[in-house]
Structure formats: structure tokens, C-alpha cells
């Protein structure tokens, strides 16, 4: 029985990763944010994996979708800086949701987790873009590094509010999915998390 559950969990993670990869292809910018910041809904399958199977499943979905996208789409720098940033963004968002929903298994617990996940993602990615990802990206593209006021403005006026807006969009969609898929989510949780 345990072997069957383990096999089914691998299959489910694979399916959710594939759906996540496909959703990643349908990305779009949100004016007036910088064009390189694009929203997609590929974190939704990872969120479903995290709340139904646990945080490790959500992290694996985030990892596999980025690996697939890197293989099929490539990167302008040859180094997957954008994919690394997307992976970290997803983890910062889904982990708080998973931990809080595991404690408070209600729509209020989910929305609370999504709100905290949004804040963690927005603040965390602001710091990481400032310290790691933007310097890496400009380095590998051979561009002049963005520093000083320009970097500060890019973070505060671009990346921080963009991730808040993205988190709000994902929260709305996930809350809607939760209300329509509650029975399925409960069944999955009883199969994977309770064992």
C-alpha cells in the first residue's frame, strides 16, 4: 500500500510539474512594471502540491518546471539566472502557505498563508534581487551593473510592488480553486499527509 502511495505521489508530482511548465509559457507583463517582470500562474500547481502532499512536493514541482523551461526555452545568458530566481520566488511563496494551511485547514488559514507568502516573497525577492540576482544577470549579460539610486528605484518601485500584485492575483485564484476543489484537496491530504 505504501509503495502504491509513493508511486502515485511521483506520478502526481510529474503531472503537476508538466502543468506548471505549460502555465509558465503563458506569461505576460503588467504595466507599468518593467517589461522583464512577467506574471504567470505556474505557481498554482506547486501550491496544490504543497498543500495536498507537503512542502517537499511543492518544491519539487517548482524545481522540475524550471528545469523543463530551461531545457526547452534556454536563457539569453547561457546561465539560468531567471530560472533560479523563479525557483526561489516560488519557494518563498509556497512554503509559508503550506506550513500555515497545515496548521489551520480552512479557507481563512489558506488565505492567511497566501497573504504571508506574498509578503515573504515580495520582501525576500527584493533583498535577493538587490544582493544576488540582478548583479548576476547584468554580469552574465555583460551589461553595466545597476547600482545606487537606479538599483534602489528598480527594487522599490518595480520588483517589490510587482511581487505584491503577483501574490494578490495568485491568492485570488487559489482561494477560488480551493472552494471548488475542497473535496479533492481533502482526499489528497488524507492520502499523502496523514500517512
- As a whole number of angstroms, the distance between CA 181 and CA 21 comes to 21
Tens of pLDDT, residues 160-183 = 999 999 999 999 999 999 999 999
- 26, 43, 114, 146, 176 from 22: Cα distances, Å: 7, 11, 23, 32, 21
CATH classification code of 2-25+36-192 = 1.10.1760.20
Whether residue 114 has pLDDT greater than 60: yes
Sequence-ordered list of residues with C-beta below 8 angstroms from that of 143, at least 6 positions apart, any chain: none
Tens of pLDDT, residues 79-101 = 888 899 999 999 999 999 999 99
The answer to which of 22-31, 134-143, 171-180 has the lowest mean pLDDT is 134-143
- As a whole number of angstroms, the distance between CA 37 and CA 94 comes to 19
Q: Check: CB of residue 39 under 8 Å from CB of residue 78.
A: no
Q: What is the pLDDT of residue 73?
A: 87
Whether residue 148 has pLDDT greater than 80: no
SS3 27: coil
Burial class (CB in 10 A: 0-12, 13-18, 19+), 81: buried
Q: What is the pTM of this model?
A: 0.91
Average pLDDT of the chain to the nearest whole number = 90
Tens of pLDDT, residues 123-137 = 999 999 999 988 888
Amino acid at each position: 500500500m505504501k509503495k502504491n502511495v509513493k508511486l502515485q505521489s511521483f506520478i502526481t508530482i510529474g503531472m503537476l510539474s508538466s502543468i506548471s511548465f505549460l502555465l509558465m509559457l503563458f506569461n505576460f507583463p503588467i504595466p507599468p512594471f518593467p517589461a522583464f517582470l512577467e506574471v504567470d500562474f505556474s505557481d498554482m500547481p506547486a501550491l496544490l502540491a504543497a498543500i495536498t502532499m507537503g512542502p517537499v512536493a511543492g518544491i519539487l514541482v517548482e524545481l522540475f518546471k524550471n528545469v523543463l523551461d530551461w531545457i526547452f526555452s534556454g536563457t539569453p545568458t547561457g546561465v539560468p539566472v531567471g530560472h533560479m530566481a523563479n525557483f526561489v520566488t516560488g519557494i518563498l511563496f509556497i512554503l509559508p502557505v503550506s506550513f500555515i494551511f497545515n496548521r489551520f485547514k480552512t479557507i481563512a488559514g489558506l488565505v492567511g498563508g497566501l497573504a504571508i507568502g506574498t509578503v515573504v516573497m515580495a520582501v525576500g525577492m527584493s533583498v535577493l534581487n538587490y544582493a544576488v540576482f540582478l548583479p548576476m544577470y547584468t554580469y552574465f549579460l555583460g551589461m553595466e551593473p545597476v547600482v545606487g539610486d537606479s538599483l534602489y528605484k528598480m527594487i522599490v518601485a518595480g520588483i517589490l510592488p510587482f511581487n505584491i500584485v503577483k501574490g494578490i492575483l495568485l491568492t485570488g485564484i487559489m482561494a477560488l480553486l480551493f472552494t471548488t476543489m475542497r473535496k479533492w484537496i481533502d482526499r489528497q491530504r488524507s492520502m499523502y499527509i496523514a500517512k
